[in-house]
Chains A and B, each alone.
Chain A
Amino acid sequence: MASLELRNVQKSYGNSQIATLKDIALKIDAGEFLILVGPSGCGKSTLMNCIAGLENITGGEILVDGEDISQASPKDRDIAMVFQSYALYPTMTVRDNIAFGLKMRKVPAAKIEEEVARVAKLLQIEPLLERKPSQLSGGQQQRVAMGRALARRPKIYLFDEPLSNLDAKLRVEMRTEIKLMHQRLKTTTVYVTHDQIEAMTLGDKVAVMKDGVIQQFGTPHEIYNNPANLFVASFIGSPPMNFVPLRIRQRDGRWVGVLNSEQGSCELPLPITSDDGLRDRELILGIRPEQIGLAGVGTADFSLAVDIEVVEPTGPDTLVVFTLNQVKACCRLMPDQAPRVGETLNLQFDPRKALLFDAQTGERLGVVQPEPVRESKVPRLVSNGAGTAQ
């Protein structure tokens, strides 16, 4: 396994003025799982192709184990890739598909046999070895595609949206399997997805991309709790973070934001120490649905009565929609706490987790609270939970 570092990687096509990738810089250690996540067209797949050598970069360096490989041809980079479409060779059997890369590298036949057997056992595809890809289901094709990558024992694995062609149930299962496999094999992996749940659940590190720029690079925990800007905050999390336009005022030497509902208003302390000219700017308060809860009796602080407009039970919890400062907001309650539509509910907002953004630039404002990083092997899940391995 190898470490991967990107130094100011640039990519632009032909005479296009707009760069597809702008100054991409990040570094992961050997054995780490990096997620590139972002909306379509953000450049994440291009970046992956650049790492693989399928596309040339127009600036910067790609280092594997400290060695610049940006000029090397794909076959010399020792990188394996799992494609979204799986890209299995249709005329070859599963066995030949897995063995192809080894044959190309002139591995002795006995060794190839051994490797194929190892990979097939690992992925539980032994009964499929003599079949053609067209005789396999989507999930099986997915396994074979992974097997083909694993057989070569390359320095780095690339996954290009590998789960997006699977149905919802299988996707959750395969996600768990990929995670399990990574925990066992400790392979350096770069994984492209547009699915924020995959990003949160699988990654050791996550790079959120938009318009060819890395918006934020950090652990899933950091990305979730300390988003660098409005885009990252809105992209990660499901249901998404609430964004509420905010006016601020000073009370008792502290800065507070005013929240209004049909029923009244409350003041929320903000993570800023001076007004920094904020009074002249349009501000947005970001607060996640799970950071709004039922106000207990007597805890009147930062609580507000709201009219319930929509109730969406998801099973494990119930999403409740109401209006805050003239926009729809959502909170996540336990199913047994859930109100009925039309009721009035007293909600409490967690001011420590509230984030402040500039409405114009999307930039994060105020003090970024240093999060106590919890050393947990398994990143915490946003929702759904990890599926059960079969």
Chain B
Amino acid sequence: MSDFAQPRLTLGRLTIHATLLLACAVYLVPLIVMLLTSFKTPEDIRTGNLLSWPEAFSAMGWLTAWDSIGGYFWNSVKIVLPAVLISTALGAINGYVLSMWRFRGSQLFFGLLLFGCFLPFQVILLPASFTLGKLGLANTTTGLVLVHVVYGLAFTTLFFRNFYVSVPDALVRAARLDGAGFFTIFGRILLPMSVPIIMVCLIWQFTQIWNDFLFGVVFASGDTQPVTVALNNLVNTSTGAKQYNVDMAAAMIAGLPTLVVYVVAGKYFLRGLTAGAVKG
């Protein structure tokens, strides 16, 4: 990049930069308001305006918020980790089979699986709760994990299948001649190449499942509820004065993990999404 000549500062450039800064501000303001409010005392919130600086930074909001949703935060972790890992692993194997080991009807199978990507959450609520009931998994973390895995499979399979389609068949054929079997080829040859798409899948699934509210509210109850449901319960309680600092802190806590995942793995996300677009 440094090889390019620095563009001269012109009116056009200034306009562009000003517009970009404005856009940044528009996106950042809600976050700033949330952060500032979460560190204010209720007194401070009542007297100051939205963007005013806290008179004194108080961790009270965060502590109270953690007290009320901390347990549910761990619930979410317990749901998200297995659900993300299992759906990604199964999606990888599905994608591998559907691209490299086509069988009679595999295209149709893949087509049907794609429908899963277009199904709204609401449509599967009843069938899913019926199934969970039959399996004896109603209102359990395992049940919720199962629902997320099944729902996520359509997406993860799609990701991996499309990634592996761009991998030359010759690799698999060469490995077969070298004496490698189904899982050896997958584990030794394809998986090491799949880091970008694994990242995409992990981020996607993590975001989806962590942020899910509907499945959480329907398929979990009481102590097994995920943090999103707990947040909702916290914010929507109508007794007493609204504790905006607690609400904001709780919302930040609930949103933080996805934020962290994006910051840590975001570069893989872009790389994975554009992988195969340009063959180098």
Contact = CB atoms under 8 A, between A and B. Distances in A.
Note whether A and B form a binding pair. yes
B189 A54 contact: no
Taking residues whose C-beta sits less than 8 angstroms from the other chain, chain A's interface range is 20 to 34
Contacts of B16: none
Given A89-B189, A91-B192, A91-B193, A104 B173 contact: no
Interface string A343-386: 00000000000000000000000000000000000000000000
B176 A74 contact: yes
A83 B174 CA distance: 8
A87 B174 contact: yes
Contact of A81 (B177, B181, B192): B177
Q: Which of B170, B174, B180, B189 has the most CB of A within 10 A?
A: B174
A52 interface: yes
Nearest to A80: B177
B184 interface: yes
A328 interface: no
Given A91-B189, A104-B184, A75 B179 contact: yes
Contacts of A89: 171, 174-175, 188-189
A84 B170 contact: yes
A104 B171 CA distance: 15
A85 B190 CA distance: 17
Interface in A83-113: 83-87, 89-92, 100-101, 104-105
Given A54-B176, A101-B179, A87 B192 contact: no
Contact of B176 (A75, A91, A105, A148): A75
Contacts of B188: 89, 100
Contacts of B43: none
Q: Which of B171, B173, B178, B180 has the most CB of A within 10 A?
A: B178
Nearest to A134: B280
A87 B173 CA distance: 9
A81 B173 contact: yes
B266 to A, nearest CB: 23
Interface of B: 168, 170-171, 173-181, 184, 188-189, 192-193
24 contacts: A49-B173, A52-B173, A53-B177, A74-B173, A74-B176, A75-B176, A75-B177, A75-B178, A75-B179, A83-B174, A84-B170, A85-B170, A87-B174, A89-B174, A89-B175, A90-B193, A91-B189, A100-B175, A100-B188, A101-B178, A101-B179, A104-B178, A104-B179, A104-B184
Interface of A: 49, 52-54, 74-75, 79-81, 83-87, 89-92, 100-101, 104-105, 148, 152
